[in-house]
Chains A and B, each alone.
Chain A
Amino acid sequence: LSVPRQRIKEYYERVKRILKETRKWDYVVSKFPEGELAVYRAVTIILERLAEVGVDPQTFDWKAAFVKLEDYDSIDSFIEALEEEGVLPTPTITELGASEEAFIAREASRLEGQIMSLIEEAKDVRPEILKRVRERIAEALGQVEDIDRLYLEVSRLKEEARRERAKAREYKAKTQELEKELRKLYEEISALRQQLEEAKKAQKRYVYKMVALKAVTHIPSFLGEDGKVYGPFEAGQIFNVPERDAHKLISRGLAQPWKPTVFPPETPKPPKKEINPEIKVKTDTLWEQYINAVLSHEPIVAMEAARQLREFRKKLFA
């Protein structure tokens, strides 16, 4: 929007000539505290405004405008009067920023929605995932601080641009920067939300290997690796916990591994003793003698063999 200094000087000289010809120059210069500079500023504002809307300054009626300058108390009121008369194009600053502002308001709404969903979705997420999300939110807070500063600058520039045309370009550039920063933050929050969703899905898919334990002492409630709360458990109580938590409890001496008994224990049997081969031979012989004596009707021999066998039996099971 800047107009070359040479051109400003050229038109300033023209206006000066007009005012001198109409014998208004001396009065105008003495009326405004800035003196000649007031005229120079008025010429600059008009040239910049014309350049902005693409009007050739040659077509502007400099004489008709500046002969009335003496009627005003300030250059600003002179410019305003020219605008009201329709001689000078009205500021387009509102139109200039309107589309950007609408975009920023829209983008902020979308971002608002994303953050609200994020808060809702984070409700039943495992603490370690939540911790990571929180770290990213802290980063986003830093970003939004910058956005806030940028927004204040945009608001200030808008006010300035209303008064000073040269600020219009700066205002537009800052508005676009704000727009870009907001979009960047939106993309980051969206990505974070997506990651959270994926982590939640993975959380559901993952099946923790559970281990049965028996509490040795009182165990206060704790948060398991799967994000579930376990306990409190009393001594002797049997419970299931994820494997990693089970290792911790065992290593701290709070619990012992516990295996469920599927079948009732068998009744104990006496260990089988190996029979001395000599005794086996002797008993076998005595048993044969006893059988033969019975079969050959020799009761005295049979009774003697039976007596010896009883004695062996006594010795064996004593």
Chain B
Amino acid sequence: VKALSKEYEEFKADAEKLLKKIRKIKKGMQEQKSEG
């Protein structure tokens, strides 16, 4: 169980990094849009 969850946790951490960056761009774009 340990081996399996470790692999998944590592994958999840990478995917969340990706998600964080996307959210940052999205937030910035929404702010710019509301500014406009």
Chain A: residues with CB nearer than 8 A to chain B? Answer: 94-95, 97-98, 101-102, 104-105, 108-109, 111-112, 115-116, 118-119, 122-123, 127, 130-131, 133-134, 137-138, 140-141, 144-145, 147-148, 151, 155, 158, 182, 223, 227, 229
Contacts and interface: CB of A to CB of B under 8 A. Distances in A.
Contact of A147 (B4, B7, B14, B25): B25
A61 B36 CA distance: 30
Interface of B: 1, 3-4, 7-8, 10-12, 14-19, 21-26, 28-30, 32-33, 35-36
A151 B22 CA distance: 11
A83 B10 CA distance: 55
B16 A127 contact: no
A115 B33 CA distance: 24
Contact of B4 (A101, A104, A127): A127
B8 A151 contact: no
Contacts of A109: 26
Q: What 5 A-B pairs have minimum CB-CB distances, sorted nearest first?
A: A108-B26, A94-B36, A105-B29, A134-B11, A144-B21
A134 B8 CA distance: 9
B12 A119 contact: yes
B14 A137 contact: yes
19 contacts: A97-B36, A104-B25, A104-B29, A109-B26, A111-B22, A112-B26, A115-B15, A119-B11, A119-B12, A119-B16, A122-B11, A122-B15, A134-B11, A137-B15, A138-B14, A140-B18, A144-B21, A145-B21, A223-B4
Nearest to A223: B3
B3 A130 contact: no
B15 to A, nearest CB: 5
A127 B3 contact: yes
